[in-house]
Structure 1
């Protein structure tokens, strides 16, 4: 990774953590309340949602420039969401292994080529969740039938990359990792970071 420019360096005083109290815990998250001192020197109380998994996102790009999206009902916002394949990888697991598992479980696909292209912090004011995004190419159907977990009823759609990108820019796809990964792949295609034939198909 290249050296950071000067303007990216931290400034000021970090938050100071005091005692913490566990408020809620399940197999996926841990909610804690912290007594803290803010960078301004003022005392405060801060709640944090701690995640026990990395968020994993996979953009599967087929040889013809199409991408596979997953549709499902999401609970928190009571909304239906079309997304790229996503899931969680335990913090002590190789994230790439988690990405391969999620792609196979949600779509039945396996990929010959994997590239990590994104690291992101999700809602970093209240959670410690970190995301890792991969572009998967050289796709083929895996052995057997894909299977979601026992709370997921998934639908699949294979659409042209440009159509998916347009849907994201129009606000029809609102999952932030899906939007970020589509934009990242568009930039890669424009800048020659993907095979030329594939990039041309993606860009139409």
Structure 2
């Protein structure tokens, strides 16, 4: 078996997968180690990979140009984070459906016209998952928040033209969120 995303490296050489062993399995992620043969024949043991569900991020814009963001505490960093509404894609769920669900659950906003901005990887040397970034134009508040048991967040509406400033100032720190915002702003003609 060989791994390829459809975009081979410059010389078109792939690493051959020789085997895997799951080291840790939790409800949130798996940690595995792979044994790989490089194109020059060298064998790499213990290439560690974190398996997670794909994620979705949503840059939603209201008709009046407001963007609902989410402020929540991030225990690994021990700080508050201002971010795009985001979450994991449930097993068997399409990313687009997950994006619509997450926006509604975390902000109460829905509707509008949606498009996929990009699919990216926040850490392709370590994690085996994708982040799907969506742009939703013309959303409106339609419901109360529907948070998970341990979610504690605040919805913060900011003017669309302030997003770049929030990225540059370091208030928005998620690499997937930052990339998604910059690409969506470009698509909106704001970048």
Please report the TM-score for the alignment, with normalisation by the length of structure 1.
0.83
More helix as a share of residues: 1
Q: Offset at 1:40?
A: 3.7
Aligned to 1:82: 82
Check whether the contact 1:115–1:135 (CA below 8 A) recurs between aligned residues: yes
Q: Offset at 1:9?
A: 6.4
Aligned to 2:132: 132
Aligned to 1:59: 59
Taking the TM superposition and a 5 Å limit, the aligned residue runs for 1:173-188 are 173-188=172-187
The 3-state SS of whatever aligns with 1:92 is coil
User: Deviations along 1:26-61, whole A, 9 cap, x unmatched?
Assistant: 22211111122223432222010011x211001111
Aligned to 1:22: 22
Structure 1 residue ranges without an equivalent (≥5): 1-6, 191-201
Cα 1:8/1:63, change in 2 over 3 Å: farther
Taking the TM superposition and a 5 Å limit, the aligned residue runs for 1:1-204 are 10-44=10-44, 45-51=46-52, 53-143=53-143, 145-190=144-189
Rounded to whole Å, the distance in 1 between the matches of 2:132 and 2:10 is 23
Rounded to whole Å, the distance in 2 between the matches of 1:151 and 1:102 is 15
Rounded to whole Å, the distance in 1 between the matches of 2:84 and 2:148 is 16
The 3-state SS of whatever aligns with 2:172 is coil
Aligned to 1:198: none
The 3-state SS of whatever aligns with 2:41 is coil
Rounded to whole Å, the distance in 2 between the matches of 1:9 and 1:42 is 17
Check whether the contact 1:31–1:47 (CA below 8 A) recurs between aligned residues: yes
> Size of the alignment, in residue pairs?
184
Aligned to 1:193: none
Please report the TM-score for the alignment, with normalisation by the length of structure 2.
0.88
The 3-state SS of whatever aligns with 1:28 is coil
Cα 1:170/1:106, change in 2 over 3 Å: same
Check whether the contact 1:57–1:85 (CA below 8 A) recurs between aligned residues: yes
Aligned to 1:4: none
Q: Offset at 1:139?
A: 1.4
Check whether the contact 1:122–1:128 (CA below 8 A) recurs between aligned residues: no
CA RMSD of aligned residues (A): 2.0
